[in-house]
Amino acid sequence: MEYKHKIPKYLGGTDEYKNLVWLTTQACKIICSTDLGTIAKYLNTMNLDKKGLKRVNSLRKLVGNSVI
């Protein structure tokens, strides 16, 4: 498990608990990556349903990445 800032510190996020989320390493890679190969690799290992993909995309938006 890893934690990530919902709103990155460089975009004004804080270390407050409400701005942190715990993620699996695979989810973290999908959320933070911009490389399509890396995203595809980790998506294949996770078997996300619509709800999971929606959550991943909401976090991708918060860190400034496009939806997948």
Average pLDDT across the chain, whole number: 92
pLDDT digits (tens, 9 = 90+) for 47-57: 899 999 999 99
Query: What pLDDT, on the 0 to 100 scale, is given for residue 11?
Result: 87
Domain ranges of the chain: 2-62
Q: Is 13 helix (H, G, I), strand (E, B) or coil?
A: coil
pTM value?
0.82
68 near 35, Cβ under 8 Å? no
Instruction: Please answer whether residues 11 and 19 qualify as being in contact, where contact means their C-beta atoms are separated by less than 8 angstroms.
Output: no
Reported as a single tens digit per residue, the pLDDT across 25-48 is 999 999 999 999 999 999 999 989
Q: What percent of the chain has pLDDT over 90?
A: 79
